[in-house]
Each structure stands twice: as C-alpha cells, then as structure tokens.
C-alpha cells in the first residue's frame, strides 16, 4: 500500500470501529444518491436540474471520500444492508408526492449533518477524518437549504410552508425512531455509542 500506513501498524480495534462507522456513512451517501436520482426525473425546471445534479455529484463524492478514508486505514468498505436509508425506507416507503419526497430529503440531509457534526466533536478524531467530515458537512448545509426552499416553492399553491413543515415533522419522528434503533446496532458492532 504505497503512501499509506500498513494495516498491521494501526490499532486493530480502532480500525475495525472506524471501518464500520465510515461504511455506514458511505452507505447513507450512496443510498441518498438514489433518492436524488428519483427527484431528477420528477422536477424538470432548469434551476432544480442544476441543483439536483450538483447535489447528486456531492453525494457520490462523499461516498468516495468515505471509501478512500476506509482504504487509507487499511480496510475495504463493508456492505451495509440495514443502514439508515434502508430503515427509513422500510418505515415510510418511497413517497410518491413530490413535497413528501423533498421533505424526506431535508430530514435525511439534516440527519447526516448532525451525525457528522457530532463526530467532529469527539475526542481523538484523526486529522484526515476531520478533513473528510468538514468537507461533507459544508455540502450538507447547502443541501438542506436548497431542498427546503424548493419544497416550499413547489408547495406555495398547495398548503405552502405549513404543508412542508408538517411533512418534515412526520419524517423527523420516523428519523428519531430509526436513529434509536441504529444507535443500538452501531454500539453493538463497534462497542461505542454512536
């Protein structure tokens, strides 16, 4: 592994925990890309097409950054079959209404933002991981903002901001339940609270 520390020199327990957590992050970014791809087909205006394409590029870049970080510590991404997006999907399905789809996207992006910020506040986070967290966090702020604005714009003649806010509240309840489950799963896998 040229230019990288050999796996044997790293703390195996720490490396295992990092690979698990980063694999969950990677999975959420990849699955979020699927949601954005669906939105690309549903919202046809020029501004949304540009923003969705940038957003989709960001999500796949985030997945690559986590993949690259996993490789840097001597691992390979783990398949995640029961991550955040899968659990959300099992509880709500895929919304058919564009406002609900956008509201769900806001909640999912806000969750990513919170998780990344919480991770940055942990003691002893490696500098390289902090760099990845800062990069993805910067993008997540824009993602939340533009999607929320677009949802309100599209809902203007159909219940407006109240309709969007109600949908966001509904999805936040699901998000809290999913995160409670996922925290238990991640703690069992890593031996640390998430």
130 occurs within a structural domain: yes
**Structural domain includes residue 144:** yes
Count CB neighbours of 56 within 10 A. Answer: 18
Domain extent for 166: 10-190
Taking residues 39-68, report their average pLDDT: 96
**Per-residue pLDDT tens digits for 147-187:** 999 999 999 977 788 999 999 999 999 999 999 998 888 77
Q: What is the average per-residue pLDDT within 74-89?
A: 93
Residue 5 belongs to some domain of the structure: no
Q: Report helix angle 98-121 to 127-155, nearest 10.
A: 160
Contacts of residue 67, defined as CB under 8 A and 6 or more positions apart, other chains included, come to 26, 77
Residue 71 domain-assigned (yes or no):
yes
- Flag the least confident range among 29-33, 123-127, 188-192: 188-192
139, 62 in Cβ contact below 8 A?
yes
Whether residue 1 lies inside any domain: the answer is no
pLDDT at 8 over 80: no
The tokens describing 131, both together, are: 């760099």
pLDDT of residue 3: 41
Query: Residue 157's pLDDT is what?
Result: 78
Nearest to 18 by CA among 68, 57, 75: 75
Region 11-23: mean pLDDT is 82
Q: What CATH number is associated with residue 92?
A: 1.20.1260.10
State pLDDT tens for residues 27-42: 999 999 988 998 999 9
**Domain for residue 2, yes or no?**
no
Give the CA distances from residue 144 to residues 10, 39, 44, 79, 122, in Å, rounded to whole numbers and listed in that order.
36, 15, 19, 27, 23
Task: Report yes or no on 83 lying in a domain.
Answer: yes
Confidence of residue 4 (pLDDT cuts 50, 70, 90): very low
pTM: 0.88
Q: What's the total number of domains in the chain?
A: 1
Q: Could you tell me the pLDDT band of residue 118, with boundaries at 50, 70 and 90?
A: very high
């Amino acid at each position: 592994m040229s230019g990288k520390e050999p796996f044997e020199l790293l703390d195996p327990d720490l490396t295992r925990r990092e690979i698990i957590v980063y694999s969950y992050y990677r999975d959420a970014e990849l699955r979020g890309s699927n949601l954005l791809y669906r939105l690309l087909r549903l919202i046809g205006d020029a501004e949304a097409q540009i923003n969705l394409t940038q957003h989709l590029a960001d999500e796949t870049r985030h997945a690559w950054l986590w993949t690259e970080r996993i490789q840097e510590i001597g691992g390979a991404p783990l398949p995640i079959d029961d991550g955040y997006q899968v659990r959300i999907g099992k509880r709500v399905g895929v919304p058919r209404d564009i406002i609900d789809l956008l509201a769900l996207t806001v909640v999912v992006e806000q969750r990513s933002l919170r998780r990344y910020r919480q991770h940055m506040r942990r003691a002893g986070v490696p500098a390289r991981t902090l760099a990845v967290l800062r990069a993805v966090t910067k993008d997540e702020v824009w993602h939340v903002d533009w999607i929320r604005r677009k949802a309100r714009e599209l809902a203007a003649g159909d219940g407006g901001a109240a309709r969007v806010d109600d949908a966001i509240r509904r999805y936040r309840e699901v998000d809290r339940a999913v995160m409670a489950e996922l925290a238990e799963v991640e703690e069992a896998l890593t031996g640390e609270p998430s």
